Amino acid sequence: MPVVRSSEAVTHEIHGARFVSYATPLTGSKELCAWRGEIPAGTKAPAHTVNREEIFLLLIGELLITLDGRTERISAGDTVIINPGATLTVENPTDHTAASWVTTSVGLTAELADGTVITPPWAN
């Protein structure tokens, strides 16, 4: 039975945010990936277009989420469904770190506005 202890989770950092990876093929998952995101106060991630659906649950704090040009303020307990091909920006305008739980299918990539494609290790 694959069990990933919090002490065994792998942490990655990019664009000022932390991604604490729990479920990936490396930890025993066959189809899904899941991670905890930590978005520090004042952080604004660059816009990126995803190739897989993501389910984004905000655990702690408030964020501004822009999805295909529409911005919504979300609070702890809110969930955002991000469809494949959607362009997403995440911003923390508060003075506290926000925390999220994100799930997606294996093989997620994100394309930045300049055409750079990122293959995040926490989602592959």
Confidence of residue 2 (pLDDT cuts 50, 70, 90): confident
pLDDT for 1: 74
pLDDT for 16: 92
Instruction: Identify which of 60, 24, 70 has the alpha carbon closest to the alpha carbon of residue 39.
Output: 60
Distance of CA 60 to the CA centre of its chain: 14
Q: Is 54 exposed, middle or buried (0-12, 13-18, 19+ CB in 10 A)?
A: buried
Domains contained in the chain, CATH given: 6-117 (2.60.120.10)
pLDDT tens digits for range 37-55: 999 999 999 999 999 999 9
Neighbours of 44 (CB within 10 A): 16
Residue 81 clears pLDDT 80, i.e. is over it: yes
What are the structure tokens assigned to 45, written together?
């991630």
d(CA 21, CA 41): 21
